[in-house]
Structure 1
Amino acid sequence: MKIGIDKMAFATTDEYIDLRELARERGDEPDKYTIGIGQDRQAVVPPTQDIVTLGAAAAKKLLSKDDKKHLSTVIVATESGIDNSKASAIYIKHLLGLDDFTRAVELKEACYSATAGIQFAKGLVAMNPQSTVLVIAADIARYGLKTPGEVTQGAGAVAMLISADPHILTLEDTTVSYTKDVMDFWRPLYATEANVDGKYSTNVYVDFFLQCWQRYQQMTGRQLDDFAALTFHLPFTKMGKKALEALLKDNQSPVADKMREQLTASQKYCREVGNLYTGSLYLGVMSLLQNGQVNPGDRIGLFSYGSGAEGEFYSGILQPHFEKYLSDVKDDLANRHQVSIAEYEKQFNSQLGMNQDDVELDWQSDPALFILKGQKEHKRIYQEKK
């Protein structure tokens, strides 16, 4: 039975900053951000948006009435949870008007958990091939203003429908997971911004990729030329390049050159949005499929990584007419508007966060379909704009 990704859709906020302006404001050379880190723009999050509104917006784009009839489960993968007990998936399930006979759960393991969600979804569909599973990777990456990690912030959500006989990518059976207890990145319960050892985390990421790739090769016998492209978790786009070059080294063959070109295509959207944590790999996949040189029947490799740390390498085969089942990311990004660094800083400091007070936000000015109106009696209040 073929099982895999049937549809994919992306959502982010309608505001961004230009990282060249941020660099100048912080006293840095713009090339440090655009070349050294590999980022051009970064999504700005108004206080009326969070992982629930972004996740619901992405899912709304792909779910038809017929899809809803077959949906058994909603899985939200995030490290930006809005409650220590109640799953964000339940809020999203309600906003989407899904049947009450729907399972809804939230998964966490840093940036990796969307991949776990896809693998779990594959098992659920295998047990009941008539059902589908909605996997949503939604996150808001925060490191703090004027911190070393500020340039690698971002926000957005990727929604994926997992089904039998998928239209985008059939998942192959062999998958390699690799897990070790590593303190390269973490966020204690009392913190709204993450702690990160950036250089160490990059080294761990590269090592985990090589470990997973070598194990995958041992298990399958496949070589680099068996793939049309390799895609990577891209918290910042230079990270994927470091991993690929650690594999290719001085290889200048046509296959190696093709892998580098395909990586550039997969980085395009992430350069414009920033870090999506759990969604970064899958926005990279969408970017490859809409900007790279790929065809039905091609094998795509996917490397997922979550600090702490866990990595996984797996693969899939592109299906006929896959391009028809992706939302138009290029159009979404073109319709955003730029805000000043001062406005970005104001919005960064206006997030609901861990505030225990009743708060009413200025939600009328937010043009998004789903909005966070505020908080009352310790309960977040969401609404779909009609």
Structure 2
Amino acid sequence: MNIGIDKIGFAAPSYVLDLADLALARQIDPNKFKVGLLQSEMAVAPITQDIVTLGAQAAAAILTDEDKAAIDMVIVGTESSIDQSKAAAVFLHQLLDIQPFARSIEIKEACYGATAGLSLAKSHIAQFPHSKVLIIASDIAKYGIASGGEPTQGAGAVAMLVTADPSIMILNNDNVCQTRDIMDFWRPNYDKYPRVDGKFSTEQYTDCLTTTFDYYVEKTGKSLADFAAMCLHIPFSKQGLKGLQAICHQDEETLNRLTERFHEAIVYNKVVGNIYTGSIFLSLLSLLENSQSLKTGDAILFYSYGSGAVCEIFSGTLVEGYRNQLLTDRLDQLNARKRLDVTEYEAIFFEEIKLDEAGNAIDLPLDDTPFALQNIEQHKRIYRKN
């Protein structure tokens, strides 16, 4: 049975900051961001937008009533959870009007969680071929004003519908994983922002990639020459490019070809920023919607990395008609976002929901986006669907 990605959607907040403006405000050469990081813009989320609202918007764009009647599992991968107990998937299940007899869960392992969700979805569909599984990778990356990670912040959600006989990509059974107990990026419960050992983290990203890829080659007998493109986790675009170069340094022809595809795969990441669990799948969406070189039957290699650390290498094969499931104007939609100046961005960054003694939100702003946080009553989050 062929199992894989049948549909894929994406949503970003309606605000964006040009990194050239941020660089000037921080008295930094803009090329440090534009060239050094390969990042151009950063999506910015107001307090009425979170992983639930972004995830709902991404999923609503691709789901039909038939899908909602067949979905019996909802998986959210995130490291921006809104509750230490209740899964964001439960909120999303209700907001999306999915039939009630479904399993709804949340998976956490830094930027890797949604990839783990894919394996769980595959196992479920193998057992129940008529089922459909909704996977949502939704995150908001915040590092702090004037911090080293500030220009790599971002926000957004990718939704994927996993089914038998998929319309976009078959997920191949060649997954190889690696786990390392390291402290390269972590977020204690008592900290508002993550703690990062930047140099160590980039080294671990690359070393996990090279060692896992070597094991993948040993287990599968495949090489990079077998793949039309490669999608990697994108904490910032330059990191992904360095990773690709690290495993393809001796084959110039393959490196040049995969580098061309890589630049097509970061078109959206460059103007959205890091969305943690969704970054690799945003890269896939960018590749599929911006490359004219791909064709039916092409294999795509994936490298998913979540700090702490867990990584996975796996592949997928494009199926006939996959382009029919994609958009041609997504970049136009991203370009239509409201552009913030640095003062506006900083005001949104520091804005927090204020609660009274009974746990009710005070003066929560109105938000007319398709899904929004409407209120908090007695510490209970209430979402609105427009």
Residue 61 of structure 1 corresponds to which residue in structure 2?
61
Q: How far is 1:362 from its partner?
A: 4.4
**Structure 2 CA distance, aligned partners of 1:250 and 1:175?**
24
Residues 208 and 64 (structure 1), Cα distance of their counterparts in 2 relative to 1, 3 Å cut: same
**Structure 1 CA distance, aligned partners of 2:100 and 2:69?**
11
Residues 169 and 154 (structure 1), Cα distance of their counterparts in 2 relative to 1, 3 Å cut: same
Work out whether residues 355 and 361 of structure 2, in 8 Å CA contact, stay in contact via their aligned partners in 1.
no
Residue 277 of structure 1 corresponds to which residue in structure 2?
276
Alignment of 1:331-346 (within 5 A): 331-346=332-347
Residue 318 of structure 1 corresponds to which residue in structure 2?
318
**Structure 2 CA distance, aligned partners of 1:14 and 1:70?**
31
Residue 140 of structure 2 corresponds to which residue in structure 1?
140
**For residues 25-56 of structure 1, what are the alpha-carbon distances to aligned partners after superposition, in whole Å with 9 as ceiling and x for unaligned?**
00100000111111100001111100000000
Q: Secondary structure at the match of 1:173?
A: coil
**Percent identity, aligned pairs only?**
44
Work out whether residues 224 and 248 of structure 2, in 8 Å CA contact, stay in contact via their aligned partners in 1.
no
**Structure 1 CA distance, aligned partners of 2:339 and 2:27?**
20
Residue 111 of structure 1 corresponds to which residue in structure 2?
111
**Structure 2 CA distance, aligned partners of 1:167 and 1:198?**
39
**Structure 2 CA distance, aligned partners of 1:148 and 1:355?**
34
Residue 96 of structure 1 corresponds to which residue in structure 2?
96
**Structure 1 CA distance, aligned partners of 2:363 and 2:258?**
46
Residue 196 of structure 2 corresponds to which residue in structure 1?
196
Structure 1 unaligned runs (5+)?
A: none
Alignment of 1:280-359 (within 5 A): 280-292=279-291, 293-327=293-327, 328-352=329-353, 357-359=359-361
Cα RMSD of the aligned pairs, angstroms, is 1.5
Q: Secondary structure at the match of 2:110?
A: coil
Work out whether residues 10 and 329 of structure 1, in 8 Å CA contact, stay in contact via their aligned partners in 2.
no
**For residues 145-178 of structure 1, what are the alpha-carbon distances to aligned partners after superposition, in whole Å with 9 as ceiling and x for unaligned?**
1111101100000000000000111011110000
Q: How far is 1:373 from its partner?
A: 1.8
**Structure 1 CA distance, aligned partners of 2:323 and 2:76?**
24
Q: Secondary structure at the match of 1:86?
A: coil
Q: How far is 1:138 from its partner?
A: 0.1
Residues 353 and 158 (structure 1), Cα distance of their counterparts in 2 relative to 1, 3 Å cut: farther
Work out whether residues 71 and 102 of structure 1, in 8 Å CA contact, stay in contact via their aligned partners in 2.
yes
**Structure 2 CA distance, aligned partners of 1:355 and 1:43?**
30
Residues 111 and 230 (structure 1), Cα distance of their counterparts in 2 relative to 1, 3 Å cut: same
**For residues 338-381 of structure 1, what are the alpha-carbon distances to aligned partners after superposition, in whole Å with 9 as ceiling and x for unaligned?**
011111111111133999842245443x3310001232211112
Work out whether residues 363 and 371 of structure 1, in 8 Å CA contact, stay in contact via their aligned partners in 2.
no
**Structure 2 CA distance, aligned partners of 1:275 and 1:172?**
26
Q: Secondary structure at the match of 1:37?
A: coil
**For residues 79-138 of structure 1, what are the alpha-carbon distances to aligned partners after superposition, in whole Å with 9 as ceiling and x for unaligned?**
000000000101111111112111110000000011000110000000000000000000
Q: Secondary structure at the match of 2:104?
A: strand
**For residues 187-207 of structure 1, what are the alpha-carbon distances to aligned partners after superposition, in whole Å with 9 as ceiling and x for unaligned?**
011122111111110110011
Residues 162 and 23 (structure 1), Cα distance of their counterparts in 2 relative to 1, 3 Å cut: same
Alignment of 1:77-88 (within 5 A): 77-88=77-88
Q: Which moved more, 1:328-337 or 1:260-269?
A: 328-337
Q: Which moved more, 1:81-90 or 1:334-343?
A: 334-343
**Structure 1 CA distance, aligned partners of 2:155 and 2:352?**
13
Alignment of 1:211-290 (within 5 A): 211-249=211-249, 251-253=251-253, 255-290=254-289
Residues 340 and 243 (structure 1), Cα distance of their counterparts in 2 relative to 1, 3 Å cut: same
Q: Secondary structure at the match of 1:29?
A: coil
**Structure 1 CA distance, aligned partners of 2:3 and 2:356?**
42
Work out whether residues 361 and 374 of structure 1, in 8 Å CA contact, stay in contact via their aligned partners in 2.
no
* Amino acid across the alignment from 1:383: R
* Amino acid across the alignment from 2:380: K
Runs of 4+ in 1 over 3 A off after TM superposition: 351-357, 360-363
* Amino acid across the alignment from 1:275: N
* Amino acid across the alignment from 1:211: T
